[in-house]
Amino acid sequence: MDDHSLSEMANGFVFRKLCKSVGTNQLASIPSTECCSTSYEYGSESLEIQRLKGIIEGLVAEKEMEKAEKEREKAEKEKEKAEKEREKVEKEKEKIDKENMLEE
């Protein structure tokens, strides 16, 4: 099976070889002896670049989720603090009401 057949079998992916002699991606017609590695490309982005982009996007999403979780925890703590303050104010109000009732 020649390189051209491999290219056609890749369903829209262009079979390219990274060649030492030129240092750039060349079409698969360059003899294998001149090439040091192979990769499949779709359009102008190689699958490796797409894979790395996916990893980076996953890490960014994970960091955003961690940030959102920290913000949620902070909001929850503030809510608990506000609830305690409200309870404190209610107890103070009840105490004042009892004192007022005793004075009457």
- Note down the domain range covering 21: 3-43
3-state secondary structure (DSSP) of residue 37: strand
Residue 85 lies in a domain: no
Tally of domains in the chain? 1
Assess if residue 87 is contained within a domain: no
Does any domain span residue 29?
yes
**CB neighbourhood size of 16 (10 A):** 21
For residue 99, what pLDDT is reported? 86
Q: H helices of 2-46, where?
A: 3-9
Q: Is the residue at 38 inside a domain?
A: yes
- Whether 32 is covered by a domain: the verdict is yes
At 22 the pLDDT is 47
- pLDDT (tens digit, 9 = 90+) per residue, 21-41? 444 444 444 444 444 445 544
Residue 98 has pLDDT above 50, yes or no: yes
Helix and strand totals (H; E) in the chain: 2, 4
Q: Is there a domain that residue 23 lies in?
A: yes
Q: Are 20 and 34 a contacting pair, CB within 8 Å?
A: yes
Closest by CA to 3, choosing from 42, 39, 29, 33, is: 29
User: Of the ranges 4-8, 68-72, 73-77, which one carries the lowest mean pLDDT score?
Assistant: 4-8
Q: Is residue 30 part of a domain?
A: yes
- Asked if residue 37 is part of any domain, the answer here is yes
Label residue 44 by pLDDT band (50, 70, 90). Answer: low
Residue with tokens 């303050």: 85
- pLDDT of amino acid 100: 86
Helix (H) or strand (E) holding 26: strand 25-27
